[in-house]
Amino acid sequence: MKRNPNMTLLQDGYLFPEITRRKNAFLSNNPEANIISLGIGDTTRALPTCIAEALADSANALADSSKYTGYGPEQGIGALRNKIAEVIYKHSVDANEVFVADGAKCDLGRLQMLFGSDVSIAVQDPTYPVYVEGSIIQGVSKIVRLPCNSDNHFFPDLDSAERTDLIYFCSPNNPTGAVASREQLQALVSFAKKNKSIILFDAAYASYIQDPDLPKSIYEIEGAKEVAIEIGSFSKLAGFTGVRLSWTIVPKALKFDDGTSVHADWNRLMTTLFNGASNIAQHGGLAVLEKNGWQAIQEMNAYYLENAAILHRALRELNIQVYGGHNAPYLWARFPGRKSWDIFQYLLEEFHIVATPGSGFGDNGEEFMRFSAFANRENILEATERLKLCCGAELL
């Protein structure tokens, strides 16, 4: 049979596998190198004991006939949907608008399937590659890139932006670390409402927002429930990158042009092509949202934010222009006139540090590197020591 033509349109190599390939190539020639990874945004802190115990208790319960459970609701265990609505959203969304899943990436793929191929999309540029690549796999041909750079404070110029059916928007942003203000999100919601667009709001890093004036959810903006789906995750909130647990909010107020319910279609798709997140992971999620768990993960989030602050200072001391890293776990460092894959290779070879080349996130990412704060403190400190060995000039 013939190959899916959409697959032929993908560029070679998804960004992170390419980084791994280059890292491994370097390691095979330099097996003794102690590489510090500030590349992929992968959590490194052990889980709080109370959360790991909840996971383990749930696993052990499966050996008890009176407690064993098989398939749960595709939409997630009721208690967890309730708890997400209560703790994360302060009841501003309803529990049955919460759909629990095994990861934001998977839900993004399913959302792309929900809307189909005959749609136009807009993404911030630079952007998390999955929005674009998943859309290409789905057969979407019209992809509008909204430049986000230091000139516009990494928020797209909506006055000149073209209308699209879907708008992917990520805040705190991956990769730039920019956090949209209330006014910016109000403008985004108005723009979507005017254009009858749907916003896919990626809030995977919302827990890193400490400033009370910055919105953690698109639903803090009036009218957002009529235009926005929000994707949240336990990955960076609670170190569940390996455990796998996420959620998507599809408000009942969100309608297609013909007046039919997006919520109903999403429910139909999820009950057809998904079978629920792991029951063990869901019980872990419940423990995250209980008082003890919630307190413990605040400390974990603060730890990574302190990492970000340390990295920020170190890069600034080298006179490197840095964005992000406040209320966000990513730093976006600029190296004017340099190719970001060259900087990647330089950092790898000279300092044994892996960071993510900005151009992997889009044309507006050229000249930039993304540094992730999801590392252990000793590695962050060691990385800053290594960087101090250069005067910064080699990097600029």
| Ranges within 138-157 binding a copy of itself (CB under 8 A) | 138-139
Whole-number minimum distance, CB 15 to a copy of itself, in Å? 10
Of 81 and 334, the one with the shorter C-beta distance to a copy of itself is 81
As given in the structure block, the two tokens for residue 77 are 């265990």
CB 63 within 8 A of CB 48: no
Whole-number minimum distance, CB 329 to a copy of itself, in Å? 13
Helix axes 49-61, 291-317, angle to 10 degrees: 130
**What value does the CA radius of gyration of the chain take, rounded to a whole number of Å?**
21
Which of 220, 226, 265, 382 contacts a copy of itself by CB under 8 A? 265
Map the footprint of a copy of itself across residues 273-292, applying CB under 8 A.
Answer: 273-281, 284
- Please tell me whether residue 109 binds a copy of itself under the rule CB under 8 A: yes
- Please tell me whether residue 46 binds a copy of itself under the rule CB under 8 A: yes
Q: In whole angstroms, give the CA distance from residue 122 to residue 160.
A: 13
Map the footprint of a copy of itself across residues 198-217, applying CB under 8 A.
Answer: 198
Which of 39, 76, 126, 134 contacts a copy of itself by CB under 8 A? 134
Part of the chain binding a copy of itself (CB under 8 A), chosen from 6-14, 91-99, 147-155, 313-321 = 6-14
H-helix segments, the chain: 5-8, 15-29, 49-61, 78-83, 104-115, 129-138, 182-195, 234-238, 262-273, 279-288, 291-317, 340-351, 377-388
Map the footprint of a copy of itself across residues 155-194, applying CB under 8 A.
Answer: 165-166
Of 33 and 56, the one with the shorter C-beta distance to a copy of itself is 56
CB 131 within 8 A of CB 168: yes
Map the footprint of a copy of itself across residues 331-390, applying CB under 8 A.
Answer: 374, 376
Whole-number minimum distance, CB 116 to a copy of itself, in Å? 4
Whole-number minimum distance, CB 372 to a copy of itself, in Å? 11
Whole-number minimum distance, CB 229 to a copy of itself, in Å? 12
Of 237 and 387, the one with the shorter C-beta distance to a copy of itself is 237
Q: In whole angstroms, give the CA distance from residue 235 to residue 231.
A: 12
- Please tell me whether residue 237 binds a copy of itself under the rule CB under 8 A: no
Q: In whole angstroms, give the CA distance from residue 140 to residue 119.
A: 6
Q: At a CB cut-off of 8 Å and minimum separation 6, what does 317 contact?
A: 388, 392
Rounded alpha-carbon distances, angstroms, from residue 44 to 140, 164, 239, 278, 380: 35, 38, 8, 22, 12
Which of 19, 51, 122, 369 contacts a copy of itself by CB under 8 A? 51
- Please tell me whether residue 40 binds a copy of itself under the rule CB under 8 A: yes
Count of residues touching a copy of itself (by CB under 8 A): 92
Q: In whole angstroms, give the CA distance from residue 240 to residue 233.
A: 8
Q: In whole angstroms, give the CA distance from residue 51 to residue 286.
A: 9
Max Cα–Cα distance, the chain, nearest Å: 66
Whole-number minimum distance, CB 235 to a copy of itself, in Å? 8
Part of the chain binding a copy of itself (CB under 8 A), chosen from 36-44, 91-99, 218-226, 334-342 = 36-44
Of 180 and 280, the one with the shorter C-beta distance to a copy of itself is 280
Residue 60, amino acid: N
Q: In whole angstroms, give the CA distance from residue 31 to residue 27.
A: 5
Q: Which stretches does DSSP call E strand in 246-325?
A: 246-249, 321-324
Q: In whole angstroms, give the CA distance from residue 20 to residue 357.
A: 12
Of 113 and 396, the one with the shorter C-beta distance to a copy of itself is 113
Of 138 and 364, the one with the shorter C-beta distance to a copy of itself is 138
Which of 19, 38, 47, 209 contacts a copy of itself by CB under 8 A? 47
Of 16 and 346, the one with the shorter C-beta distance to a copy of itself is 16
Encoded one letter per residue, x for contact with a copy of itself by CB under 8 A and - for no contact, window 64-83 reads xx-xxxxxx-----------
Q: In whole angstroms, give the CA distance from residue 266 to residue 100.
A: 12
- Please tell me whether residue 34 binds a copy of itself under the rule CB under 8 A: no
As given in the structure block, the two tokens for residue 214 are 């910055």
Which of 27, 113, 253, 381 contacts a copy of itself by CB under 8 A? 113
- Between the two ends of the chain, the Cα-to-Cα distance in Å is 51
- Please tell me whether residue 298 binds a copy of itself under the rule CB under 8 A: no
Whole-number minimum distance, CB 119 to a copy of itself, in Å? 7
Altogether, the residues listed in the chain come to a count of 396
